[in-house]
Amino acid sequence: MTQQNLVFPARVLRGAGVINQLGAICAGLGQRALLIGGHQALQAVEAQVRAQLLTANVTLLAQEWFGGETSITHINRLAAIASELHAEVLIGVGGGKSLDTVKAVGAQLGLPVVTLPTIAATCSAVTPLSIRYDDNGNFFDIFPLPQAPAAVIIDSELLANAPPRWLAAGLGDTLAKWYEFRAVSARHPARAGNALSSLAHSQICYDVIAEHGPAAYAAVQRSESSASLDQVLDAIFTWAGLTSLMSNGAHAAASHAIYEGFTFCDKTREFGHGLLVGFGNLCLLALEHRADEEVLDEMRLARDCGVPLTLGEIAELDERELALIVRESVHAPDMANMAEAVTEARLLAVIERVERLAARI
């Protein structure tokens, strides 16, 4: 019989003000908490986290910067700090790299992790894996973890006040769930129960964003929470997370391969995972030989969600830099999931087609 191992987060809370349940949740996991995150994330939530833990009689041992990259160096450094402080629960705050780092530390030490995303840029808050990089930010691997977060706290009021580009990143990354899974299914049709479930969840991701994404992005540009924002937060975190969980991560294709290529260029590496994936989505559609009108329709959705349509919106690249990105994209493992082989010449031609179509938007 075929065995499977699906690892789900224990609790997922989403809504306005759910950060106010952090103390009670942590108290049920341990009495000694270590807070880890990005500089801006720590500044944004440290006071609320401290107050929540104080009320719940949980000791805040320290707060630590995650290091800037989800690298083995920083994972080991933070694991040593957590061990020295005898931490019993880890609280991760920030975006994807920060949360992936904290999850990896928790898995290494066997400690429960509570994730508190301060931007809605990826589904990292819920998934039992870490995307690791080297210390310079070059993509290294996708590292599966034996545990998912003990709790995920998705506060829509907090996320409504984050920079809008990070919601755009989350929308771009979540749209990829459908575009990529559909592309992967062309080569490896979804027949088994988990694969069919994951494909269905990816379709939900797309449908929710197509209906609510533009309105949610417009609301966040006004720093407002809204019903549309709640809907897309469910898509970005819950539905996208379920897509990844049910497929055991085997659902990525050209969109993520192109993102991985971007990480090898100094000018584009820090632009934002989901924004780069969002541009990769458009290239994926072109790689599938989809008609101009279909690609244009998806470009309009991407534009209304704040996703870049052209390389010029990402960075000014010379021929050498673009050649590096294309080469690394083609050789990224995820590109092998496309139905047809992708060469450097073909990918470059596809990028040029996307640029021409963008001029018509």
Regarding whether 179 and 122 lie in a shared domain, the answer is: no
The CATH number covering residue 222 comes to 1.20.1090.10
Regarding whether 190 and 138 lie in a shared domain, the answer is: no
Residues 6+ apart with CB under 8 A from 359: none
The answer to whether the annotation marks 273 as part of a ligand binding site is: yes
Regarding whether 96 and 35 lie in a shared domain, the answer is: yes
Residue 1 lies in a domain: no
Regarding whether 336 and 322 lie in a shared domain, the answer is: yes
Regarding whether 241 and 121 lie in a shared domain, the answer is: no
Q: Report the relative pairing of strands 113-117 and 151-155 from DSSP bridges.
A: parallel
Q: Are 14 and 154 in contact (CB under 8 A)?
A: yes
Provide the pLDDT for residue 76: 97
Distance between CA atoms of 338 and 335, rounded to whole angstroms? 6
Regarding whether 107 and 24 lie in a shared domain, the answer is: yes
The residue-averaged pLDDT of 14-37 equals: 97
The residue-averaged pLDDT of 261-286 equals: 95
Provide the pLDDT for residue 137: 85
Q: pLDDT by residue (tens digit) across 92-127?
A: 999 999 999 999 999 999 999 999 999 999 889 999
Residue 178 lies in a domain: yes
The answer to whether the annotation marks 141 as part of a ligand binding site is: no
The answer to whether the annotation marks 98 as part of a ligand binding site is: yes
The answer to whether the annotation marks 256 as part of a ligand binding site is: yes
The answer to whether the annotation marks 129 as part of a ligand binding site is: yes
* Separation in Å, CA 360 to CA 169, 258, 292, 296, 300: 23, 23, 10, 8, 10
* Separation in Å, CA 174 to CA 60, 201, 251: 34, 11, 12
The CATH number covering residue 99 comes to 3.40.50.1970
Regarding whether 227 and 255 lie in a shared domain, the answer is: yes
Domain-ending residue, one of 134, 161, 188:
161
Regarding whether 217 and 172 lie in a shared domain, the answer is: yes
The conformation of residue 310, written as its DSSP 8-state character, comes to S
pLDDT more than 70, % of the chain: 93
Residue 39 lies in a domain: yes
Q: Which residues of 155-168 are buried (b: 16+ CB within 10 A; e: fewer)?
A: bbebbbebebbbbb
Q: Is pLDDT above 70 for 23?
A: yes
Residue 308 lies in a domain: yes
The answer to whether the annotation marks 334 as part of a ligand binding site is: no
Regarding whether 120 and 71 lie in a shared domain, the answer is: yes
Q: Which amino acid is at 335?
A: M
Tokens of 39: 């500089």
- The whole-angstrom distance between residue 150's C-alpha and the CA centroid of its chain comes to 18
Residue 2 lies in a domain: no
The answer to whether the annotation marks 97 as part of a ligand binding site is: yes
Structural domain count of the chain: 2
Residue 3 lies in a domain: no
The answer to whether the annotation marks 289 as part of a ligand binding site is: no
Domain-ending residue, one of 127, 161, 195:
161
- The whole-angstrom distance between residue 164's C-alpha and the CA centroid of its chain comes to 15
Provide the pLDDT for residue 1: 45
What global pTM score does this model have? 0.87
Q: Is pLDDT above 70 for 327?
A: yes
Residues 6+ apart with CB under 8 A from 94: 37, 38, 40, 41, 42, 66, 117, 118, 119
Domain-ending residue, one of 161, 185, 220:
161
Q: Residue 137's domain spans which residues? A: 11-161
Q: pLDDT by residue (tens digit) across 329-338?
A: 999 999 999 9
Q: pLDDT by residue (tens digit) across 192-220?
A: 555 666 677 788 999 999 999 999 999 99
**Mean per-residue pLDDT of the chain:** 92
Regarding whether 314 and 171 lie in a shared domain, the answer is: yes
Q: Is pLDDT above 80 for 249?
A: no
Regarding whether 139 and 226 lie in a shared domain, the answer is: no
Regarding whether 265 and 231 lie in a shared domain, the answer is: yes
The answer to whether the annotation marks 29 as part of a ligand binding site is: no
